[in-house]
């Protein structure tokens, strides 16, 4: 598929991001076909993700780096299809190079704390004057105006503030921290939507703009897709544990060898559940035939399903329910989920390449989960070593000669 | 801000979606400025969301509809900034109108089960022949090729299959169903990214294409942003309950009046925690001074923080930690989160308007969580009644006269 044009072919993105949220935004832009130039601070050894355990290399997966050719799995994943150049933006020479790059680029993405780009002299206003067409995207914890307290927004902080932690579990349970860093992952999706919208508008107006996305705002906006507090007022509580009584039969159930999920909120699905359980006559029982009554007898209904399930395997239970048309599925471990052949065949998850050792044994990473009929997407090019493309970018994009590059090195700018 | 152009000004979107996932995609497109024409089946009373409790109207929020001017909160939220027309696609006349509309539109979004658009004769191939520029987006459970079992993909089914349910809680706990319907919400974000990418590519090539997004693929791709199973192999388990020992001090803690989250994975943050606790000397204690040692003594460290917190209020605990530069935040209820003044001021959450009664008392819905410097976004126009714009669309967009429209009504097409 690589010879088909990609949606962002021809666009150049300057990537001033580190950690997860920003790099995931630019990873998607790279997957969509943009040329992404990752600009890393040589003083700090580049993106902090380069120093996240575990590492992968000649000896497979290890908790510690043991060789020059080991690369952190985080970087293998988030660095795909990107070029890397070093640039110390605190030196005047380094900043000057960035301004030159920004004058030629289509998009810049940064995820510094609020205020840092001003201090470095590379904020939107400055770059917009140099290149009015530039789309400048900022992803931060609370937005460009800054946030409360330390202003530091780790994913867990945003999960707490957004209400997300109190949407799972049972009443009275501690808050439930979600292992998926959902704030870190959702903000970049809105960041990409913002970048694409601004690029599209720029094709019409000739003008770029600032795109400002907050992790708190992104996740809270998803929470606000249902007014949960209003629902609670009329008896539709959020935290109902393994089952959802108001949709009964609905929930997760334990079998001999694992858990499965079952969703039977309609009369038709509920009747299917009764057939699967071998008690088709209960579909017409007044306790279970209509939704209001099922809600009233939800405990009884769920206990009946739990009793049936405990003697089966997950595979048997799901098959019997599916045969009766009831939505049901195994609760899978993340490792099994990312190896789903359907998901792999659609490129929604992709095997991870290592720059020296090729496709890593049994390591998978996110793909672009969009299938275009006329374009390709993929994230199949290995992540770069720190500064691997410094010379290529300076010479190729800016026309610098060897001496100029040597002078920059001497000045500590690279 | 409404007089500023929006990124999608001038684009027309045909919206053939129901329930949550599809309508959220077209809601975002509407917020970005597209004209969204929601096409509803009159036979079924339109989008099923119109019949979801609770309802809002003259008597405020109620579990049951008691008046003609009551509207479901789901529709008030998801229908904003959209027009509604009725069209029965199972009638030849209704299908013919859709084909005419598709010939003039820029984008079509549908979320039927796999195979339905073929049966209705309104699949991508058919419409692409009529209007090669049309971007045609499909959001489904497993993708255009269909899925396992019933093929019915409710959010809980996708949460189960994607591994998401086993990322929270403690080892041995039941799977944790997330109250936020995250699969329903994430798939449309990729759908919007796909639509914008294809529209952008179409500006260059003059050609539209099919954009096919699967809920399972979308959520699994986020799960694959970290290879959790590889991490578990080297001792970085996912399910660690309220605390994360490998990042200690890190977790949620109970005070006198509620919970707060604390993230102190670095030496500097950890030292800040010790100062907040009034034991600054422990920052240099060999048990706590370095990360490896903190991980080893995580239980002791977390117990110490829990003991300190239990005598404070959330506000006191968070303030003391913030004063020492430690990321910390209250764990909020969803209702408090959506009323955060910062989030409201950025339009990431917006008050919900009712078509008759104006801004609803104390009801909030998602905004577009992207702040553009040169464009506006907002979702401030009330949702339409079923078929409110049928005549306006037929007359205005297709030039139909009164007789033609009456004939369509008679044929049962509207």
**pLDDT, averaged across chain A:** 95
Q: What is the mean pLDDT of residues B9-28?
A: 97
Per-residue 3-state assignment (H helix, E strand, C coil) for chain B: CCCCCCCCCCCEEEEECCCCHHHHHHHHHHHCCCEEEEEECHHHCCCHHHHCCCEEECCEEECCCCCCCCEEHHHHHHCCCEEEEECCCCCHHHHHHHHHHHHHCCEEEECCCCCHHHHHCCCHHHHHHHCCCCEEEEEECCCCCCCCCCCCCCHHHHHHHCCHHHCCCCCCCCCCCCCCCHHHHHHHHHHHHHHHHHHHHHHHHCCCCEEEEEHHHHHHHHHCCCCHHHHHHCCCCCCCCCECHHHCCEEEEECCCCEEEEECCCHHHHHHHHHHCCCHHHHHCCCCCCHHHHHHCHHHHHHHHHHHHCCCCHHHHHHHHHHCCCCEEECCCHHHHCCCHHHHHCCCEEEEEECCCEEEEEEEEECCCCEECCCCCCCCCCCCCCCCCHHHHHHHHHCCCHHHHHHHHHCCCC
Question: Which residue in A24, A177, A338 has the most chain B C-beta atoms within 10 A of its own C-beta, making it the best mutation to test that interface?
Answer: A177
Residue of A nearest to B318 (CA): A149
Kindly tell me if the per-residue pLDDT of B2 is higher than 90: no
- Residue of B115, B26, B131 lying closest to B79 (CA atoms): B26
Q: Which of B62, B150, B228 sits opposite A335 (nearest CB)?
A: B228
Kindly tell me if the per-residue pLDDT of A357 is higher than 80: yes
- Residue of B48, B21, B81 lying closest to B367 (CA atoms): B81
Question: Which residue in B114, B136, B219, B337 has the most chain A C-beta atoms within 10 A of its own C-beta, making it the best mutation to test that interface?
Answer: B337
| pLDDT above 90 as % of chain B | 90
Answer yes or no: do B334 and A228 touch at CB < 8 A: yes
Kindly tell me if the per-residue pLDDT of A75 is higher than 50: yes
Q: Which residues of A touch B332 (CB under 8 A)?
A: 160-163, 166
Q: Which of A152, A176, A229 sits opposite B334 (nearest CB)?
A: A229
User: Is residue A35 within 8 Å of residue A107, measured between CB atoms?
Assistant: no
Token pair for residue B312?
């404070």
**H runs (alpha helix) in A234-297:** 267-276, 291-296
Q: Which of A166, A342, A374 sits opposite B333 (nearest CB)?
A: A166
Q: What is the mean pLDDT of residues B46-72?
A: 94
pLDDT for the residue numbered A3:
53
pLDDT for the residue numbered B1:
41
| pLDDT tens-digit map of A327-356 | 999 999 999 999 999 999 999 999 999 999
Q: What is the mean pLDDT of residues B288-300?
A: 94
Q: What is the mean pLDDT of residues A31-39?
A: 98
Answer yes or no: do B144 and A371 touch at CB < 8 A: yes
Q: Which residues of A touch B229 (CB under 8 A)?
A: 333-335, 338
Q: Which residues of B touch A186 (CB under 8 A)?
A: 186, 189
pLDDT for the residue numbered A153:
85
pLDDT band at residue B149 under the 50/70/90 scheme = confident
Q: Which of B210, B227, B231 sits opposite A365 (nearest CB)?
A: B227
Answer yes or no: do B346 and A203 touch at CB < 8 A: no
Kindly tell me if the per-residue pLDDT of B3 is higher than 60: no
User: Is residue B25 within 8 Å of residue B192, measured between CB atoms?
Assistant: yes
* Beta strands A349-354; A328-330: pairing state: unpaired
DSSP B248-261: SSEEEEE-SS-EEE
- Please tell me the distance from the alpha carbon of residue A316 to that of residue B19, in angstroms, as a whole number: 30
Answer yes or no: do A223 and B331 touch at CB < 8 A: no
| pLDDT tens-digit map of A254-265 | 999 999 999 999
pLDDT for the residue numbered A27:
98
| pLDDT tens-digit map of B228-279 | 988 888 888 899 989 999 899 999 999 999 999 999 999 999 999 999 999 9
Q: Å from B68 to nearest chain A CA? A: 20
Kindly tell me if the per-residue pLDDT of A130 is higher than 50: yes
Q: Which residues of A touch B160 (CB under 8 A)?
A: 252, 259-261, 329-332
- Per-residue CA distances from B239 to A272, B127, B265, B305 (Å): 34, 47, 17, 21
Q: How many CB pairs under 8 A join A and B?
A: 471
DSSP B176-198: ---SS-HHHHHHHHHHHHHHHHH
* Beta strands B210-214; A371-372: pairing state: antiparallel
Question: Which residue in B331, B336, B350 has the most chain A C-beta atoms within 10 A of its own C-beta, making it the best mutation to test that interface?
Answer: B331
Question: Which residue in B23, B127, B198, B221 has the most chain A C-beta atoms within 10 A of its own C-beta, making it the best mutation to test that interface?
Answer: B221
User: Does the N-terminal peptide bond of residue B249 adopt cis geometry, omega within 30 degrees of 0?
Assistant: yes
**pLDDT, averaged across chain B:** 95
Least confident of A9-13, A236-240, B307-311: A236-240
Q: Which of B259, B261, B335 sits opposite A228 (nearest CB)?
A: B335
- Please tell me the distance from the alpha carbon of residue A296 to that of residue A288, in angstroms, as a whole number: 9
Residues 6+ apart with CB under 8 A from B55: B61, B62, B63, B64, B65, B66, B70, B71, B72, B73
| pLDDT tens-digit map of B372-404 | 999 999 999 999 999 999 999 999 999 999 999
| pLDDT tens-digit map of A156-214 | 999 999 999 999 999 999 999 999 999 999 999 999 999 999 999 999 999 999 999 99
Q: What is the mean pLDDT of residues B82-109?
A: 98
Q: The complex's ipTM? A: 0.97
* Beta strands A35-40; A82-86: pairing state: parallel
Question: Which residue in A263, A348, A361 has the most chain B C-beta atoms within 10 A of its own C-beta, making it the best mutation to test that interface?
Answer: A348
pLDDT for the residue numbered A152:
78
Q: Å from A407 to nearest chain B CA? A: 36
Residue of B nearest to A360 (CA): B230
The SS3 call for residue B151 is coil
Q: Please, what are the domains in chain A?
A: 12-222+341-410 (3.40.50.10540), 245-254+259-330 (3.30.1540.10)
| pLDDT above 70 as % of chain B | 99
Q: Which residues of A touch B374 (CB under 8 A)?
A: 201, 205, 207, 209-210
The SS3 call for residue A72 is strand
pLDDT for the residue numbered B5:
82
| pLDDT tens-digit map of A369-406 | 999 999 999 999 999 999 999 999 999 999 999 999 99
Answer yes or no: do A348 and B181 touch at CB < 8 A: no
pLDDT for the residue numbered A1:
41
Kindly tell me if the per-residue pLDDT of A281 is higher than 90: yes
pLDDT for the residue numbered B297:
96
């Amino acid at each position: 598929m690589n010879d088909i044009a990609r949606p962002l072919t021809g666009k150049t993105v300057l990537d001033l991001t580190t950690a997860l949220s920003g790099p995931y935004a630019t990873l998607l832009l790279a997957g969509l076909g943009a040329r992404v130039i990752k600009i890393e601070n040589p003083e700090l050894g580049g993106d902090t993700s380069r120093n996240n355990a575990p590492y992968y290399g000649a000896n497979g997966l290890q908790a510690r780096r043991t060789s020059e050719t080991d690369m952190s799995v985080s970087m293998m994943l988030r660095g795909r299809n990107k070029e890397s150049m070093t640039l110390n933006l605190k030196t005047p020479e380094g900043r000057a190079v960035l301004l030159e790059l920004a004058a030629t680029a289509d998009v810049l993405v940064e995820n510094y704390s609020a205020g840092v780009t001003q201090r470095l002299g590379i904020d939107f206003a400055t770059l917009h004057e140099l290149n009015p067409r530039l789309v400048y995207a900022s992803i931060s914890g609370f937005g460009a105006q800054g946030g409360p307290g330390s202003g530091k927004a780790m994913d867990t902080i945003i999960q707490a503030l957004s209400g997300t932690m109190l949407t799972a579990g049972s009443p009275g349970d501690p808050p439930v921290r979600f292992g998926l860093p959902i704030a870190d992952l959702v903000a970049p999706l809105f960041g990409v939507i913002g970048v694409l919208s601004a690029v599209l508008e720029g094709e019409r107006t000739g003008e770029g703009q600032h795109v400002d996305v907050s992790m708190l705002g992104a996740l809270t906006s998803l929470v606000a897709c249902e007014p949960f507090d209003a629902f609670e007022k009329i008896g539709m509580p959020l935290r109902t544990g393994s089952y959802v009584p108001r949709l009964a039969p609905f929930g997760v159930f334990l079998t001999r060898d694992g858990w499965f999920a079952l969703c039977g909120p309609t009369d038709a699905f509920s009747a299917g559940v009764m057939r699967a359980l071998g008690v088709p006559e209960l579909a017409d029982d007044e306790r279970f035939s209509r939704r209001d009554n099922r809600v009233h007898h939800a405990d009884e209904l769920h206990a009946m399903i739990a009793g049936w399930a405990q003697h089966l395997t997950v595979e048997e239970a799901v098959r019997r329910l599916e045969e009766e048309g009831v939505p049901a599925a195994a609760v899978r471990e993340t490792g099994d989920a990312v190896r789903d052949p359907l998901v792999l065949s659609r490129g929604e998850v992709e095997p991870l390449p290592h720059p020296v050792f090729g496709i890593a044994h049994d390591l998978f990473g996110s793909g672009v989960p969009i299938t275009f009929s006329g374009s390709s997407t993929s994230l199949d090019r290995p992540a770069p070593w720190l500064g691997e493309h410094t010379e290529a970018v300076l010479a190729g994009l800016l026309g610098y000669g060897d001496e100029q590059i040597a002078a920059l090195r001497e000045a500590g700018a690279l």
